[in-house]
């Protein structure tokens, strides 16, 4: 009887603690979301109040006109081809730059000789302003999507590369030595120790590079394009259409939020898989 009573007292307490913490986290997330919407509403209200009163509507437009323009573009489907072009360029540049940067970062992080050999060349190339490469990329790849993808790839590459390289170098050497003493082969050390230990650094680089991948695509469109959100910004600006410019900027901001959320979801799933595998 005493054993049953003891287990009945302990089990519910242990089982309720995680659920209680989960409920608290959900409440805090909901409260944070409410505060975020409240802050956004406050900013929009201040913008609407200032437009036409403190600042001429020609210079800053107003949220209502921007919302109407976005609704018109959505109903007519005008925005979707441009949105798809920029989305495709961003994703392609992000994937290519991430893969190349991660692979090179792991390779140079493991190979001390090659990292010392290539370090000055990589640093010199990293110091170059990437936007200055845009005219060359247009010259090499043409006016199509390829030049924008190339610019986005170059920007993402260095962000992911240096984070991956640093993460690999920060792996505990004692852990590597222990696994080697267990007769693990080099590729086993790499797959089971080095890469999992550096994943937090890699995902940090991926999250940082998401907006820069989008920036690279849009900058390329601003320089030479006939489609895309960057092209729309340039066209609306040339027509002195402030409302159109703000409408495109809103779309770009929403696209950046969606892309960042996708990376966060992948990171959470990867961390859960890592915990389960251990």
Q: Is 164:202 a contact under the CB 8 Å cutoff?
A: yes
Domain boundaries, the chain: 1-50, 60-277
How many C-beta atoms surround the C-beta of residue 233 within 10 A?
Answer: 22
- Reported as a pLDDT band with limits 50, 70 and 90, residue 100 is very high
Q: Say what the pLDDT of residue 22 is.
A: 61
* Per-residue pLDDT at 177 exceeds 70: yes
Please count the CA atoms within 13 angstroms of the CA of 208 that sit on its side-chain side: 16
Tokens standing for 105? 């970062």
Tokens standing for 263? 């990376």
- Reported as a pLDDT band with limits 50, 70 and 90, residue 7 is very low
CATH of domain 60-277: 1.10.3720.10
Tokens standing for 259? 């892309």
How buried is 207 (Cβ within 10 angstroms: 0-12 exposed, 13-18 middle, 19+ buried)?
A: middle
Average pLDDT over residues 189-216: 87
Collapsing DSSP states into helix, strand and coil, what is residue 55? strand
Q: Is the pTM of this model over 0.85?
A: no
Q: Which residue has the tokens 């956004």?
A: 40
Give tens-digit pLDDT for 79-95. 999 999 999 999 999 99
Q: Is 218:230 a contact under the CB 8 Å cutoff?
A: yes
């Amino acid at each position: 009887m005493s054993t049953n009573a003891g287990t009945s007292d302990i089990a519910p307490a242990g089982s309720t603690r995680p659920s209680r913490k989960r409920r608290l986290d959900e409440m805090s997330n909901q409260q944070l979301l409410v505060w975020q919407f409240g802050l956004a509403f406050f900013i929009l209200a201040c913008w609407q109040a200032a437009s036409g009163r403190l600042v001429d509507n020609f210079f800053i437009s107003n949220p209502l006109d921007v919302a109407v323009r976005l609704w018109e573009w959505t109903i007519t489907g005008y925005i979707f081809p441009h949105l798809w072009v920029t989305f495709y360029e961003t994703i392609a540049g992000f994937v290519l730059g991430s893969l190349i940067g991660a692979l090179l970062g792991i390779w140079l992080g493991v190979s001390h000789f090659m990292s010392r050999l290539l370090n000055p060349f990589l640093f010199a190339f990293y110091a170059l302003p990437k936007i200055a490469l845009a005219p060359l990329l247009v010259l090499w790849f043409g006016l199509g999507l390829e030049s924008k993808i190339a610019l986005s790839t170059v920007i993402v590459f260095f962000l992911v590369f240096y984070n991956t390289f640093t993460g690999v170098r920060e792996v505990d050497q004692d852990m590597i030595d222990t696994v080697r003493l267990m007769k693990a082969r080099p590729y086993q050390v790499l797959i089971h120790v080095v890469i999992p230990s550096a994943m937090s650094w890699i995902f940090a680089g991926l999250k940082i590079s998401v907006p820069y991948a989008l920036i690279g695509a849009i900058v390329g469109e601003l320089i030479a394009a006939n489609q895309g959100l960057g092209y729309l910004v340039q066209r609306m600006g040339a027509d002195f259409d402030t409302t159109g410019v703000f409408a495109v900027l809103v779309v770009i901001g929403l696209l950046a939020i969606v892309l960042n959320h996708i990376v966060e979801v992948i990171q959470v799933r990867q961390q859960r898989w890592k915990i389960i595998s251990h």
